[in-house]
Chains A and B, each alone.
Chain A
Amino acid sequence: MSAPTQLSEPIAEDARMAAPNTLSLGGSLPRFTPPVTLAVLLLVSAGALFLLDAWNPAVLVIVTAVAYMVVITLASVIVENSRKAKDRLVTAVVYVCFGIAMVPLVSLLWTVLAEGIVRLDGYFLSVSMNGVTPSMDAGGAYHAVLGTLVITGIAALISVPIGLMTAIYLVEYGRGRLKTAITFFVDVMTGIPSIVAGLFVVALWIMIFGPGETNGLAGAISLSVLMIPVVVRSCEEMLRLVPNELREASYALGVPKWLTVLKVVLPTAIAGITTGIMLALARVIGETAPLILTAGSSAVAINANPVEGQMMSLPVFIYSQVRMGGAINYERAWAAALTLIAIVMLLFFVARLVSRFFAPKAR
């Protein structure tokens, strides 16, 4: 409590002595203190690291962060008071944690972008690997992009109606044992490892077509096994958010229940449902294991027919290229990874547009 606070009232002075922490308001650090301190500490640590010959950006960031926490807390204790000092310390900790959380994300995006951009061009996106030997400087991922779109498209066509209708059943109609059972099995399905979903379809296909049959439809079905529970869960949450008052308002106008669900509940929840479906799609579009088992991993030619022959997809393309191990294969894998991320981002962008378009407007 070294701040020179002048208190003229003797009573206040007594109180201050009795409880120094609560009554001493102290001064306050100027608003530019945190950024200036941070900049100064960054320079100082950089200089120190150079002198010690231990230059390393990661170490610099860590040293600066720790030094900043110490300095800002001490400065605040001296100039301000202990409550504000705690506030500044915790603020610094929160920012550091946020920074740590961002490191893998930014690093991943940066690596994929830097490595993938080398080979990602119109040629890569428009040709297949048909007739290309693994180390040849040619070939592309058109067949994989096509396969990914066909397989996830069919998976969505299967999962969205089943998932959405299950959610409607659970929220609007279900009661008793059946509802509990469905909720339980949806929860169990959420936890199914994706390779098991693949095995399930392999077993199914062996039963129906005999061993060795792989095609795009099998891949789509294995993905829909993974996608349905996610769709059910997110749609269920969204439907529950629709206020009961709206349903009652509709019943009171003499509207039957099914029309109420169709024309009041679904439109009110459509923005959230769209987002949920897009999240589910994003979840399955990167699945590799079940597709290797069901759609095959050796397709090199363009195949848009989901019921005939192997079908390549972007994740499996990445997998098989990396397994070949040459420099050119790694380049192809990174370019395919970048393509996959771009497709997912595009999906999210479309979902945003859709939900903004449908969202209930206040004015």
Chain B
Amino acid sequence: MAKRIDVSGLHVYYGDFLAVEDVSMTIEPRSVTAFIGSSGCGKSTFLRTLNRMHEVTPGARVQGKVLLDDQDVYGSEVDPVAVRREVGMVFQRPNPFPTMSIYDNVIAGAKLNNQRLNKSAADDLVERSLRGANLWEEVKDRLGRPGAGLSGGQQQRLCIARAIAVEPSVLLMDEPCSALDPISTLAIEDLISELKENYTIVIVTHNMQQAARVSDVTAFFNLAGTGKPGKLIEMGETNKIFTKPEKKETENYITGRFG
């Protein structure tokens, strides 16, 4: 189910502005890859190009290649909508649909696409996804309640359940814990470690301890300067990045010395 992502020579533009320059990397299946780096260095922008979510922003475009296993994500015959079914995404702020119940939120991917699900298949999918997101025990008695009534951490796990209910092969997470308290953060991190059995996971985080705790591979992005594009500085095994980084810049960032 999990797929490998191969990026080569990717440039991201907003209009004429080059936001991210020349990124090449391979993201292994069944692993967690963390993107770290200062704000505005393009890691979220780059993450969004992996499922073509950047196209939602007017003027955003890319040059270069992204392969999902052997399929070109930017091929001329490829529908971005289909890419997003294959590569799911979890956002910084939990965003359950306010008009829907917990149950409907989980099967939103199918419901919004007008897919017909019979009752037992839907029940099954809801239970499986909520169990997968470690939320089933907490909400199984109130599935008909609105999703917006849950706590922030529960809402975020609901969003993860919603994302895995469409059975993607890759899960992108854009700072999924930055709006959560430490307990909820721990719950999400445990969940990430379980999910990597079945999915390719890419996570953007500002929390370096989090990157060290959950990820197998870490990629460090940085800006060359204000107004200059973001770049991939170094990528390697998390252990190595945090103990013996090759580049001086990486070491400075990780140890908290800048400039």
Q: Which of B215-230 contact A (CB under 8 A)?
A: none
A264 to B53, CA, bound (A): 17
Taking a contact as CB atoms under 8 Å apart, the answer to whether B112 and A362 are in contact is no
Binds B, one of A89-97, A195-203, A241-249: A241-249
Within 8 A of B (CB), among A107-131: none
Which residues from chain A contact B82 at a C-beta distance below 8 Å?
254
Inter-chain contact B162/A246, CB cutoff 8 Å = no
- Nearest chain-B residue to A363 (Cβ)? B149
Assembled-state Cα–Cα distance A360/B88 (Å): 25
B81 within 8 A of A: yes
Question: Which of under 10, 10 to 19, 20 to 34, or 35 or more describes the interface residues of B?
Answer: 20 to 34
Residues of A at under 8 Å CB distance from B? 175, 243, 245-256, 259-260, 263-264, 267-268, 358, 360-363
Q: Are B93 and A360 in contact (CB under 8 A)?
A: no
Is B236 interfacial (CB 8 A cutoff)?
A: no
Contact with A along B109-139 (1 / 0, CB 8 A): 1011110000000000000000000000000
Residues A260 and B148 in contact, CB atoms below 8 Å apart:
no
**Given A253-B162, A259-B113, 16 new contacts (CB under 8 A):** A249-B91, A251-B53, A251-B81, A252-B88, A253-B88, A253-B109, A253-B112, A253-B113, A254-B84, A255-B81, A259-B112, A263-B112, A264-B99, A267-B99, A268-B99, A360-B98
Are B112 and A260 within 8 A (Cβ)? yes
B56 touches which one: A248, A255, A259 (CB < 8 A)?
A248
Residues of B within 8 Å of A251, CB to CB, are 53, 56, 81, 84
B-chain residues with CB within 8 Å of residue A361 when the two chains form the complex: 146, 148-149
A264's partner among B89, B97, B163 (CB-CB below 8 A) is: B97
Q: Which residues of B contact A252 (CB under 8 A)?
A: 51, 53, 84, 88-89, 91, 163
Cβ of B85 and Cβ of A254 under 8 Å apart?
Answer: yes
Binary contact readout B62-90 vs A (1 if CB under 8 angstroms, 0 otherwise): 00000000000000000001111110110
Residues of A within 8 A of B91 (CB): 245, 248-249, 252
A255 to chain B, nearest CB (A): 4
CB distance from A171 to the nearest CB of B (A): 13
- In this complex, the member of B99, B109, B148, B163 whose beta carbon has the largest number of chain A beta carbons within 10 angstroms is B99
CA of A260 to CA of B99, assembled, Å: 13
Residue of A nearest to B168 (CB): A254
Q: Which 3 A-B pairs have the closest CB atoms?
A: A254-B85, A360-B98, A252-B89
5 examples of A-B residue contacts, CB within 8 angstroms: A248-B53, A250-B108, A254-B113, A360-B99, A361-B149
Contact call B108/A253, Cβ cutoff below 8 A: yes
Any A CB within 8 A of the CB of B58:
yes
A271 closest partner in B (C-beta): B99
Q: Give chain B residues whose Cβ lies under 8 Å from the Cβ of A250.
A: 97, 108, 112
Q: Quick one: which of B181-237 are within 8 Å of A by CB? A: none
Of chain A, the residue at the smallest CB distance from B146 is A361
B109 touches A254 (CB 8 A): yes
With A246-B95, A360-B99 known to touch, is A253 a contact of B148 (CB < 8 Å)? no
In the assembled complex, the CB of B26 is this many whole angstroms from the nearest CB of chain A, namely: 23
Option from A247, A260, A362 in Cβ contact (under 8 Å) with B149: A362
Once the chains bind, are A259 and B114 in contact (CB under 8 Å)? yes
B113 and A249 contact, CB distance less than 8 A: no
Interfacial chain B residues near A256, Cβ < 8 Å: 81, 113
Q: What residue in chain B is nearest A257 (Cβ atoms)?
A: B81
CB of B145 within 8 A of CB of A363, answer yes
B51, B81, B111, most chain A CB atoms within 10 A: B81
The CA of A251 and the CA of B51, in the complex, are separated in Å by 10
CA distance A254 to B95 in the complex (A): 16
A362 contacts B95, CB within 8 Å?
A: no
Select A253's contact among B58, B84, B146, beta carbons within 8 Å: B84
Q: Which of B99, B113, B146 contacts A255 (CB 8 A)?
A: B113
CA distance A247 to B113 in the complex (A): 14
B95, A255: Cβ atoms closer than 8 Å: no
* Interchain nearest-CB distance for A357 vs B (Å): 12
- Name the residue among B83, B91, B95 with the largest chain A CB count within 10 angstroms: B95
Supposing A249-B97, A268-B99 touch, asked if A254 and B146 sit within 8 A by C-beta, the answer is: no
Beyond A361-B148, A362-B149, whether A249 also contacts B58 by CB under 8 A is no
Closest CB in chain B relative to A343 CB, distance in Å:
30
Q: Is the CB of A360 within 8 A of B146?
A: yes
Within the complex, what minimum Cβ distance (angstroms) separates A363 from chain B? 4
**Docked pose: A362 CA to B151 CA in angstroms:** 11
Q: Is B98 touching A249 in the complex (CB atoms < 8 A)?
A: no
Tell me the residues in window 92-112 of chain B with beta carbons closer than 8 Å to chain A beta carbons. Answer: 93, 95-99, 108-109, 111-112
Determine the chain A residues whose CB is within 8 A of the CB of B5 once the complex forms.
Answer: none
Do residues B95 and A245 form an inter-chain contact, with CB atoms below 8 A? yes
B159 close to A249 (CB less than 8 A): yes
**A254 engages B81 (CB within 8 Å):** yes
Chain A CB within 8 A of B166 CB: yes
The residue on B at minimum CB distance from A266 is B99
CB-CB nearest in chain B for A267: B99
